[in-house]
Chains A and B, each alone.
Chain A
Amino acid sequence: MNHTDDTRKTSGWLRMITYLLRHRAIGLFLFIGLLTTVVSWINPAFLSGQNLRDIAVQAAPICIISCGVMLVLVAGEIDISVGSMMGVLAASMGIMVSASRAQLPPHVAIALTLLIGIGMGLFNGLLVAYVGVPSIIVTLGMLTALRGLTEIIMNGAWITDLPDEIRFLGTGTILSIPLSLWTTACVLAVTIWLIHRTPIGRRIYATGSNPQAAQLAGLSIKSIKLFVFAWTGLLTAVATLVSVPQLSVVDSGIGIGTELLVVTCVVVGGTSVNGGVGTLSGVLCGVALMTMISTVLIFLKLGEHATYWSRAIQGLFILGAILADHWISNHKK
């Protein structure tokens, strides 16, 4: 009797361990846990509710965009234009709502911003899916061109008079939880639903996993690819709407470097650049790690010299996470 119980226990443990190993997110999750423990041991303020909330708010736009870019990677493509898309979106949103410029009503401006986001995503998607240009080239071109477009839209001035309704998107709270967190939760819920509960989600994974098989199975690869790019465009617009109004000024540099951060988060989260593989939990861990690092470095109070080493430390963290992940998955086999 005792004996059987024992074996059941071990097999349960074994199953749990293999389950954990299968989930790529777990290593990252443990790493984040370790990091949090160390930092909060050194500086307990790190675990304060306010700080966690701030980190979450900072992570929100990155998280929202990552949900889109992850699907693009899963479908076997890449999108490095999101940073410049944010720039264009922020600029056009600013122009539309600014009291001294177009003065559109906020809800119209919000709707138009979302449409522009989808439009840019569709443009990427059309070139990739229907013209057949490699996505890295299309989005690299867009990264450059849209940054120039932002400068032209802004025309050397900043928008400093965002109306309160728009500012509310960035600073407002519902039930004392920031609006951006509600939005992120909605986006996550929709993404989970999309991935696990709709045919299109399954088809995105199928397309990235084996495009030829997908074609033979009668999937419309082109519309799937179009969809993921448009979806990313939409999410970029959503992220812009909840993050840019956190600040009072819209400048022309919004979004610079976001594409690198987002791709890093998604990749550190275990999404394969070859398509077909990627989990939302992994991406969430990636986002959490990447947004935490810089805060952690401040909370460690390493002194002035360390300021100049922070980029190197961040880089080493990324490198470490990637290499550890590869080491683990190689040794699993």
Chain B
Amino acid sequence: MKKSNPRKMHHRFVVLSLLAGITFIFTACSPTPPSDASSTQLVSKDNNKKKITICLIPKKKGLPYFTSCAEGAEEAAMELGNVELIYDGPTDGSPEKQASMIEQYTLKGVDVIAVSPNDPNVVAPALRKARARGIHVLSWDADAIQDSRDFFVNQATAEAIAHGMVDTMVKDLGGPKTKADVAIVTAYLTAANQNVWIEHMKTHIDQQYPHLNLVAIKPSDEDQKLAFKVTQDLMKAYPDIKGFFGISSVSFPGAAEAVKQAGKTGQVMVTGLATPNSMRSYVEGGTVKSVVLWNTAELGYLTIKVGEALATGKLKQGDTSFDAGKLGKKKIAGDQVLLGDILVFTKDNIHQYDF
């Protein structure tokens, strides 16, 4: 056998590698075990009822926004007792993967598929196939194409979200009379939801706020670092810029940090969509006056409730209201179950929320 050259260097390497290997294994194993939210099965307390399997598919797994939705969904499943909840989605947020998952669940023969489509067009054929198989299909968080789903659990329409963000920005800037340049930091340029919002934001600005001037839309590729960099660059390239929309939960904190580090807290406004926890320090520090969102846990909760009702026949097309347990009665407009208004988190109320 050929032996490698055992020199001092070599010994040092072996010792070092052992040491590092051990730490690596140690740290790789030490993270907290997966919480129940992502585990697949929840044992029902009541075995007599027929089990209803509901798949809750987020746009992207691993975002706190969706994790908090899943916690609400889990609560509903526990409460109902006859629901088996599956929570899984693409970790990279790929619409294609979402469609593949829907196809898998269709084959498995689950009862309800609730999906927050990354791209309604891509998942539509898969959803139609599922419906053809007799599976109840819901869209939640974001709407699918109308004929590919039964109901949409609507926390806010795309229009409402877009208007909410623009209105909040205008309010933060000091009213509709203020002249200001603003920019949008989006997720991927191809991100379907964000693009719909951007369209609505543009029309809303054109119609309502002639003084607001949208100077740039830049992608952050779902990378906080890039969002940070882009915001920094925009502030320097457009010195008159007064406001940033961080319209994904990754780009928002990145943009806020850039403004904070540039020392423009109070001069440049940042608003957008994110969970309160990730924005808490900025809201408390004053960089961000308001964060637009809704109660995510309630959204998850409502989705599961609607799914169960649909599968058991409690909810039919044409109903105008729905009894959502602890949330009380919810309005149904056509085929949309409405969660309620969007929430705006500010310094005054953010401490009440923890998700």
A binds B: yes
Q: Which of A's residues lie within 8 Å of B, judged by CB? A: 43, 45, 48, 50-51, 54, 58, 91-92, 95, 101, 112, 115-116, 118-120, 122-123, 125-126, 147-149, 151-158, 160, 171, 218, 220, 222-223, 226-227, 230, 243, 246-249, 251-254, 256-257, 294-295, 298-299, 301, 304, 307-308
Is B64 a contact partner of A304 (Cβ separation < 8 A)? no
Whether B24 lies near A123 (C-beta < 8 A) is yes
- CB atoms of A126 and B17 under 8 A apart: yes
Nearest CB on B from A121, distance (A): 8
In the bound complex, CA of A164 to CA of B24 (Å): 26
List the A side residues contacting B232 at CB < 8 Å.
54, 58
Contact residues in A for B37 (Cβ distance below 8 Å): 156
| Known A116-B24, A118-B20, A248-B257: A253·B216 in contact at CB below 8 Å | no
Please, how many angstroms separate the alpha-carbon atoms of A128 and B28 in the complex? 21
Asked if B154 CB lies within 8 Å of chain A CBs, one says no
B239 at the interface (CB under 8 A from A): yes
Q: Measured between C-beta atoms, what is the minimum distance from B219 to chain A in Å?
A: 7
Query: In whole angstroms, what is the CA distance A249 to B248 when docked?
Result: 14
B224 and A252 form a contact (CB under 8 A):
no
Q: What 1/0 mask marks residues of chain B from 147 to 173 whose CB sits below 8 Å from any chain A CB?
A: 000000000000000000000000000
Closest to A157 in B: B64
Do B5 and A155 have beta carbons less than 8 Å apart?
Answer: no
Query: Are A298 and B224 within 8 A (Cβ)?
Result: no
Beyond the given pairs A54-B233, A153-B31, A156-B63, 8 more chain A to chain B contacts, judged by CB atoms under 8 angstroms and listed by A's residue number, are: A45-B239, A54-B236, A125-B17, A223-B13, A251-B63, A251-B250, A253-B224, A294-B233
Tell me how far the C-beta of A241 lies from the nearest C-beta in chain B, rounded to whole angstroms.
Answer: 14
Q: How far is the CB of A333 from chain B (nearest CB, A)?
A: 37
- Do B189 and A298 touch (CB < 8 A)? no
* Stretch from B49-57, B73-81, B108-116, B273-281 at the A interface: B273-281
B61/A256 in contact, CB under 8 A: no
B336 within 8 A of A: no
Per the bound structure, the CA–CA distance linking A298 and B235 in Å amounts to 10
- Name the B residues within 8 Å of A307 (CB-CB): 189, 216-219
At the interface, yes or no: B228 with Cβ under 8 Å from chain A?
yes
Give Cα A298 to B233, complex, Å.
7
Contact A227 B62 (CB under 8 A): no
Total A-B residue contacts, Cβ distance less than 8 Å: 164
Let me know if B62 and A156 touch, CB within 8 A: yes
A54 to B230, CA, bound (A): 11
Answer yes or no: B21 CB below 8 A from chain A CBs.
yes
In whole angstroms, how far apart are the Cα atoms of A123 and B21 in the complex?
7
How far apart are B74's CB and chain A's nearest CB, in angstroms?
Answer: 12
- Least CB distance, B1 to chain A, in whole angstroms: 13
What's the minimum C-beta distance from A148 to chain B, rounded to whole angstroms? 8
Task: Select A156's contact among B35, B189, B228, beta carbons within 8 Å.
Answer: B35
B238 shortest CB reach to chain A, Å: 8
- Give the shortest distance, in Å, between A120 (CB) and chain B (any CB): 6
10 shortest interchain CB distances as A-B pairs:
A119-B20, A119-B24, A156-B67, A220-B5, A122-B17, A153-B31, A298-B233, A252-B62, A249-B253, A299-B237
B107 at interface by CB-CB < 8 Å: no
Given contacts A154-B62, A156-B61, contact A120 B222 (CB under 8 A): no
B61 partner, pick from A125, A151, A218, A304, beta carbons under 8 A: A151
- Cα separation A26 to B19 with both chains bound (whole Å): 43
Tell whether, in the assembled complex, residue A151 and residue B91 are in contact, meaning their CB atoms are under 8 Å apart: yes
Cβ 8 A contact of B20, one of A54, A116, A220: A116
Contact with A along B15-39 (1 / 0, CB 8 A): 0110111011001100110110110
Write 29 A-B pairs (CB below 8 A) sorted by A numbering.
A92-B31, A112-B27, A116-B24, A119-B21, A122-B13, A122-B16, A122-B17, A122-B21, A126-B17, A148-B91, A151-B61, A152-B31, A153-B31, A154-B62, A155-B34, A155-B35, A158-B64, A220-B7, A220-B9, A222-B4, A230-B13, A230-B17, A243-B225, A246-B228, A247-B254, A248-B257, A248-B282, A253-B62, A307-B217
Q: Is the C-beta of B221 less than 8 angstroms from some C-beta in chain A? A: yes
Chain B positions near chain A (C-beta within 8 angstroms): 4-5, 7, 9-10, 13, 16-17, 19-21, 23-24, 27-28, 31-32, 34-35, 37-38, 61-64, 66-67, 70, 91, 189, 216-219, 221-225, 228-230, 232-234, 236-239, 250, 253-254, 257, 261, 277-278, 280-282
Asked whether A220 lies within 8 Å of B218 as measured between CB atoms, the reply is no
Instruction: Point out the residues of chain B lying under 8 angstroms from A301, CB to CB.
Output: 237-238
Contacts of A119 in B (CB 8 A): 17, 19-21, 23-24
Give complex CA distance A71, B38 in Å: 41
Which residues from chain B contact A230 at a C-beta distance below 8 Å?
13, 16-17, 20
Given A249-B253, A307-B216, are A50 and B225 neighbors across the interface (CB < 8 Å)? no
A153 to B250: give the CA distance in the assembly, Å.
18
Known: A54-B232, A123-B24. A298 touches B66 (CB 8 A): no
Q: Are A298 and B237 in contact (CB under 8 A)?
A: yes
Contacts of A118 in B (CB 8 A): 16, 20
Q: B229: which of A58, A125, A223 is its contact (CB, 8 Å)?
A: A58
Q: Provide the bound-state CA to CA distance between A101 and B24, in Å.
A: 18
Taking a contact as CB atoms under 8 Å apart, the answer to whether B38 and A156 are in contact is yes
Residues of chain B contacted by A149 (CB below 8 angstroms): 28
Closest to B93 in A: A253
Collect the chain A residues with CB atoms within 8 Å of residue B63's CB: 156, 251
**What are the residues of chain A within 8 A of B230 when measuring CB–CB?**
294, 298
How many Å from the CB of B23 to the closest CB on chain A?
A: 5
**B223 contacts which chain A residues (CB < 8 A)?**
253-254, 256-257
Residues of A within 8 A of B189 (CB): 307-308
Give the distance in Å from the alpha carbon of A297 to the alpha carbon of B90 in the complex: 32
A160 close to B281 (CB less than 8 A): yes
Looking at the assembled complex, report how far the CB atom of B40 sits from the nearest CB atom of chain A, in whole angstroms: 14
B236 close to A50 (CB less than 8 A): yes
Q: How far is the CA of A251 from the CA of B226 in the complex (A)?
A: 13
Which residue of chain A lies nearest to B250 when distances are taken between CB atoms in the complex? A251
Contact B20 A223 (CB under 8 A): no
Within the complex, the shortest CB–CB distance from B249 to chain A, in Å, comes to: 9
Contact residues in B for A304 (Cβ distance below 8 Å): 216-217
